[in-house]
Chains A and B, each alone.
Chain A
Amino acid sequence: AQKITQTQPGMFVQEKEAVTLDCTYDTSDPSYGLFWYKQPSSGEMIFLIYQGSYDQQNATEGRYSLNFQKARKSANLVISASQLGDSAMYFCAMREPRGSASKIIFGSGTRLSIRP
């Protein structure tokens, strides 16, 4: 069964430092996708970044990058130069193929707090 593991329930980071949020996944399917979402205290879910299992390069979106290590089945999110507005819950997720459809399963989340 596919699953997503986020081992850091909470993290505190000083403003302007880089931060790495850990995510490991488990799947036997060769074709899958990995996502990161941000959920601020206001509650909305914001899509941050996507990495496909066949992508050769690590995905990047502005200050976000995904450190994809396929052999280790890890997909850590790196946020460079953290800002106060980065304080939020962060969810790692994996797209699980199911025939012509897919579903996305989520990890338990990491609460990131940025200190001024």
Chain B
Amino acid sequence: DTAVSQTPKYLVTQMGNDKSIKCEQNLGHDTMYWYKQDSKKFLKIMFSYNNKELIINETVPNRFSPKSPDKAHLNLHINSLELGDSAVYFCASSQDGAGVMGQFFGPGTRLTVL
């Protein structure tokens, strides 16, 4: 059973397009996250949702909009894609908002903007 799943695994698209990445967790966790990992492997949090409510919103361009239809899903929509958006995007979940027991990550979505 996949704990945290993301689709698609790979996404290649042109500059200016709009795309979405979906994330689902079946762990019953209350909190979900989006991270961006750049080409130098640096991992940075973008958003965090607790029970469908946005609780962390880092300095991310408005072109990025997360949506949580229920606490098991957290999708990421990106408008007007730019070259600099190329990265691996990870979804994660944790049992609580503090992430005390660690965060469980999805397999990542490799986004390439041409």
The minimal Cβ–Cβ distance linking B94 to chain A, given in whole angstroms, is 9
Contact between A35 and B102, CB atoms less than 8 A apart: yes
Instruction: Across the interface, name the chain B residue whose C-beta is closest to A44.
Output: B107
Contact between A106 and B98, CB atoms less than 8 A apart: no
Q: Chain A: interface secondary structure? A: strand
* Mask: chain B, 27-45; 1 = CB below 8 Å from A; 0 = not: 0000000000000111111
Which of A18-26, A63-71, A72-80, A94-102 participates in binding chain B? A94-102
Indicate if B66 sits at the interface (CB-CB under 8 A): no
Contact between A45 and B41, CB atoms less than 8 A apart: no
Known: A44-B107, A45-B92. A33 touches B100 (CB 8 A): yes
The minimal Cβ–Cβ distance linking A55 to chain B, given in whole angstroms, is 11
Q: Give chain A residues whose Cβ lies under 8 Å from the Cβ of B108.
A: 43-45
Q: Give chain B residues whose Cβ lies under 8 Å from the Cβ of A89.
A: 41
Known: A43-B88, A43-B108, A44-B107. A106 touches B43 (CB 8 A): yes
Q: Give chain B residues whose Cβ lies under 8 Å from the Cβ of A81.
A: none
Q: How far is the CA of A61 from the CA of B7 in the complex (A)?
A: 31
Indicate if A108 sits at the interface (CB-CB under 8 A): yes
Contact of B100 among A39, A52, A101 (CB under 8 A): A52
Q: How many A-B residue pairs have CB under 8 A?
A: 64
Which of B18-26, B48-56, B71-79 participates in binding chain A? B48-56
The minimal Cβ–Cβ distance linking B64 to chain A, given in whole angstroms, is 16
Q: How far is the CA of A100 from the CA of B53 in the complex (A)?
A: 12
The minimal Cβ–Cβ distance linking B2 to chain A, given in whole angstroms, is 11
Indicate if B99 sits at the interface (CB-CB under 8 A): yes
Indicate if B103 sits at the interface (CB-CB under 8 A): yes
Contact between A50 and B98, CB atoms less than 8 A apart: no
The minimal Cβ–Cβ distance linking A79 to chain B, given in whole angstroms, is 17
Q: How far is the CA of A103 from the CA of B100 in the complex (A)?
A: 11
Contact between B41 and A108, CB atoms less than 8 A apart: yes
Which of A95, A102, A106 is most buried by chain B, counting CB atoms within 10 A of its CB?
Answer: A102
Would you list the 4 A-B pairs with minimal beta carbon distance, nearest first?
A: A45-B105, A47-B102, A101-B55, A106-B43
Binding site for B on A (CB under 8 A): 33, 35, 37, 39, 43-47, 50, 52, 89, 91, 95, 97-98, 100-106, 108-109
